[in-house]
Amino acid sequence: MPSNAAELVRILNLNDDGADRYVGGHPGESLLAKVYGGQLIAQALVAATRTVDPGRPVHSLQTICLDVGRHGEPVQFEVERLRDGRSFSARAVIARQGGRPVLRLLASYQPREQGLSHQIPMPIAPPPGGLPLAHEVMAAFSNLSGNEWRVEWSGLDLRYVSGHLEGRVGRTPAVQQLWVRVKDRLPDDAVLHRHIVAYLSDLTMTSASLLPHGPVFGDLELPRATLNHSVWFHEDARADEWLFVDQRSPWAGGARGLSFATVYSADGRPVASLAQEGLIRPLGRMRRQLGFD
């Protein structure tokens, strides 16, 4: 994870390699060897957006994750201009690292229009002040120290709503709520904030499908990976102000978990809707504890 807002902006500022090709880098340090999926999603979205009329903001994206990205090696993003119609533009992006395809993204863009409108109200939740911090929760459910997780999450302020993390097997619902924001102030650029919402959208989504199965959140013996991920953008919102994320998982099976989420601004406006299928494949001790061996 980036250590501050400036580093986050830097990794989303891709280098132009000519002919709708772009190159992206990584944060200076990371606790994990593999690249955070939200980074690749956001970088691919940045590449697609570079080729679209600025008057058409992105309204949806769908990705399929093809392979693991690794830190220390740049990622190449190649954009295909699928269509520029009267109302919508469509782009496809393939991300490669060392010649390996690691992610495929489809994105759709639309000028702002007036239309029918409704929304589901934001759930009632306690404010972020005083709620458990991400590194505290991670440390409680893994074999890494709180300080290691604190360094990993230092660029974000991520708070968990209490009551969903007890890990009571068969009794804890697959519901997870959190508040998140980038700690430092970001530039006043609505496009950048939408891209950072895409970056944040991959946070803890797969973990929502783990809650009914015991205290496995953050456990390194449960490898997790994003398989496919979708975002629908509804309204602009600042990523350096509090966003409330309401996550829920209706199903898990076959070493996969399915999760959905709605992202709200602090004043209750729906900002985005999310859907994700993730890999949840227990190993070693955890596999035996769960009775798979």
pLDDT in tens, 228-245: 999 999 999 999 999 999
Per-residue pLDDT, 214: 67
Higher-confidence residue of 90 and 171: namely 90
Active site residue 276: yes
- Residue-wise pLDDT tens digits, 182-206: 999 999 999 999 999 999 999 989 8
- For the question of residue 202 being annotated catalytic, the response is yes
Average pLDDT score over residue span 99-119: 97
Which one of 39, 176, 226, 262 is the catalytic residue?
Answer: 226
pLDDT over 60 (residue 222)? yes
- The reported pLDDT for the residue numbered 135 is 72
What's the pLDDT band for 260 if we cut at 50, 70, 90?
very high
pLDDT classification of 17: cutoffs 50, 70, 90: very high
Position 71 pLDDT exceeds 70: yes
Amino acid 214 reads G
Q: Is 226 known to be catalytic?
A: yes
169, pLDDT greater than 70: no
Q: How confident is the model at residue 1 (pLDDT cuts 50, 70, 90)?
A: confident
State the pLDDT at residue 220.
61
Per the residue annotation, which of 43, 202, 204, 219 is the catalytic one?
A: 202
Q: Which residues pair with 253 in a beta bridge?
A: 256
Q: Which of 76, 97, 204, 276 is catalytic?
A: 276
> What is the number of alpha carbons within 13 Å of residue 200 lying toward its C-beta?
35
pTM, two decimal places: 0.92
Q: Which pLDDT does position 116 carry in this prediction?
A: 97
Alpha-carbon Rg for the chain, nearest whole angstrom, is: 19
Question: Coil, helix or strand for 190?
Answer: helix
- Mean pLDDT score, 213-225: 67
The mean pLDDT value for 262-278 works out to: 98
Structure confidence at residue 218 (pLDDT):
59
List all residues 6 or more positions away from 248 whose beta carbon is below 8 Å from its beta carbon. Answer: 174, 175, 176, 208, 259, 260, 261
Percent with pLDDT over 70 in the chain: 83
Mean pLDDT for the chain overall: 89
Question: What are residue 60's phi and psi, to 5 degrees?
Answer: -160, 155
**Which has the higher per-residue pLDDT, 248 or 215?**
248
